[in-house]
Chains A and B, each alone.
Chain A
């Protein structure tokens, strides 16, 4: 087991796929775990809804609760119209949730601990908001940057501030998820490393290693909480941003 806490985030090539000029495209461990997340989601949802019991089985109620959670979040923050985005939001939620939760299992790779992944997801939301907002509302969409009832002499400054606030969204959206996952996994690895290091120091060291071991257990529970919460936060923010695309008047 490598003691390097960053080692777990390394991208490893598994199968070379194709070559574009000088760049080689490989099937990496990241891609493998993305596919695993999607397959697990599909298995969970297909398996859960196969029976369609009136009184749900345990698995079926997991699927129903997930659906209800995302649907009620979307409805309450972006309104009934936003339900046309439900497949998109639900896919995002399940992908982030599965990536986060699978990443807690030892020896796995956490897809969402790479900013390129979270940035891609956040930018997808960002451009969906812009494109749908302009397509649906036309130039009215840009009222987002000029709230009603602003005096004319204040307008230029307000527009710049609102524009900056709008542009900072994909950054906070992606950095939040990525940083939480990265920091959590590094902490876990470091504390886990203490157990091994102290345990190798003989009897007294082994007794001392009990404290970091207990901490590791507690941290794992915390990480599970953070994994679910971060997926939920990512979804809430997606809903809030979609709300701006649908109702740009504030």
Chain B
């Protein structure tokens, strides 16, 4: 607000005929501010670039462990099924592969999900 006023005064002093251009500029500035405001997250302040960085970092940190967790769960379930049913090593092999698939599914879901949110 303050800076807009100051800039408006300055413009008036130098070029009084440019009212229309000035209001158009103010309008576009307002639009850009709105855009920045809607993109801005309260945590990092007004710089949209750092907000993007933060979203990217958050995504990277999330993705790193999705795949591993799936494989671990699959392997654990397979191992316990083998011990319980005596089907070694088939349960382990099958569930390790299924766990890998589930991990990949999680990975792709969280990646896709973020893309969705950015599109909004």
Q: A residues touching B (Cβ–Cβ < 8 Å)? A: 65-66, 68-69, 72, 76-77, 157, 160-162, 164-165, 167-169, 171-172, 175-176, 179-180, 225-226, 228-230, 232-233, 236-237, 240
Main secondary structure, interface of B, reads: helix
CA distance A69 to B45 in the complex (A): 12
Number of chain B interface residues as a range: 20 to 34
CA distance A157 to B98 in the complex (A): 9
Main secondary structure, interface of A, reads: helix
> Could you say which of A164, A225, A230 contacts B102, with CB atoms under 8 Å apart?
A164
Which residue in chain B gives the minimum CB-CB distance to A164? Answer: B102
CA distance A228 to B77 in the complex (A): 34
**A229 x B74 contact (CB < 8 A):** no
Which residue in chain B gives the minimum CB-CB distance to A69? Answer: B42
Q: Shortest beta-carbon distance, A57 to chain B, in Å?
A: 16
**A229 x B58 contact (CB < 8 A):** yes
Which residue in chain B gives the minimum CB-CB distance to A66? Answer: B42
**A161 x B42 contact (CB < 8 A):** no
Give the one of A165, A225, A228, A229 with max B CB within 10 A: A165
Q: B residues touching A (Cβ–Cβ < 8 Å)? A: 41-43, 54, 57-58, 61-62, 64-66, 68-70, 72-74, 77, 95, 98-99, 101-103, 105-106, 113, 117, 120
CA distance A171 to B73 in the complex (A): 8
Which residue in chain B gives the minimum CB-CB distance to A237? Answer: B62
New contact pairs (14) apart from A161-B101, A165-B70, CB-CB < 8 Å: A65-B42, A69-B41, A72-B41, A72-B42, A76-B120, A157-B98, A161-B105, A162-B102, A164-B74, A168-B73, A172-B65, A172-B68, A172-B69, A172-B106
Which residue in chain A gives the minimum CB-CB distance to B66? Answer: A172
> Could you say which of B61, B66, B102 contacts A180, with CB atoms under 8 Å apart?
B61
**B103 x A168 contact (CB < 8 A):** yes
CA distance A100 to B61 in the complex (A): 16
Shortest 5 CB-CB contacts between residues of A and residues of B: A172-B69, A164-B102, A65-B42, A165-B102, A168-B69
Q: Shortest beta-carbon distance, B58 to chain A, in Å?
A: 5
CA distance A180 to B105 in the complex (A): 23
